[in-house]
Structure 1
Amino acid sequence: MGAPHAPPSRRRHAQLQGRPQAGRRVRRRRSDRHLQAVWKVKEQLRALLRTGSLEDAATAKEHLEELVKAAARPETNRLYRTVCRWWQEIEVLIITGATTGKVEANNTAIKNIKRTARGYRNPSNYKSVILLRSAVRTAA
């Protein structure tokens, strides 16, 4: 038979039980706080982009800046710098509501047609397929 097994140490026992060790719990809590701070920044940016007036957007931008400072993460700092760099364009988006969504959707549709239309040797047939499929999309 053999010698009886020695009792496992507390750490090994905790591992076998599936319980986190004390050091891991502290690290997990810290990473949860970082994750929550980054999530708040993301949600505030979404709220900023949904605003309907420039005054509301300016207020949302100030709140975003406070959250970025509180998060103190390089990712959020970079995001805020990008928002500041693109602020004029964001203001235009808020005022006009114009986006490039339709153009991007058309480009995606053409890419999908390209992917499925491999093998067309005649460029005019290929062009006809693109036009017909886009006509079907707009009619539907």
Structure 2
Amino acid sequence: MFAKLLSADPNQDIAAAWIAKELLRDLLSCADRGGLRYEITTALDRFYRFCAACTVPEVIRLARTIETWQAPIIAALQTGLSNARTEGYNRIVKHVGRIAFGFRNPENQRRRVRWACTRRSRRVTPSRHQRHC
């Protein structure tokens, strides 16, 4: 597959982006092995060295972004914690607001958001038809 990619990519921009992606996947796989600091820094070093030698502007921009967020990335890989749940709730709040076209009563908006955010934790009771079948 990589050979086909190289033959179809004369400037090898796509190949460089693919290699950068694979190096980032190697970085993320450090979390599966316990998030050891030396493994993380080794993977980051390999990624940065590749990006420094690369001439593709998008890959260079990606390296700058990773460098900007390096401390939180390392913390997430070492602890296994993320803000995914918070981001999910924020998405639900925005979605509820979009569906409602704006609430006139703030209390109703809070109730609707709470209801939407606790949907999975509520028990589902069988309907009247399901009980008799």
Q: Is the 8 A contact 1:37 1:70 kept in 2?
A: no
| 2:20 is the counterpart of 1:35 | no
Give runs of aligned pairs for residues 83-94 of structure 1, distance below 5 A. 83-94=66-77
Aligned residues: 113
Which digits, 9 at most, give the CA deviation of each residue in 1:27-83, with x for residues without a partner?
x5413x221111110221122123121111111112212321343222212222332
Counterpart CA distance in 1 for 2:64 and 2:46 is 14
Q: Which runs of 5+ in 1 are unaligned?
A: 1-27
Counterpart CA distance in 2 for 1:133 and 1:83 is 34
Match of 1:7 in 2: none
Give runs of aligned pairs for residues 14-29 of structure 1, distance below 5 A. 29=9
Q: Is the 8 A contact 1:38 1:71 kept in 2?
A: no
> Equivalent of 1:49, from 28, 34, 40?
28
Larger Rg: 1
Give runs of aligned pairs for residues 1-140 of structure 1, distance below 5 A. 29-31=9-11, 33-51=12-30, 52-118=35-101, 120-139=103-122
Q: Cα distance 1:113–1:137, how it changes in 2: closer, same or farther (>3 A)?
A: farther
Name which of structure 1's ranges 80-89 and 128-137 shifts more when overlaid on structure 2. Answer: 80-89
If the length of structure 1 is used for normalisation, what is the TM-score?
A: 0.68
Aligned-pair CA distance for 1:139 = 3.1
Q: Which runs of 5+ in 2 are unaligned?
A: 1-7, 124-133
If the length of structure 2 is used for normalisation, what is the TM-score?
A: 0.71
- Aligned residues with identical type, % of pairs: 29
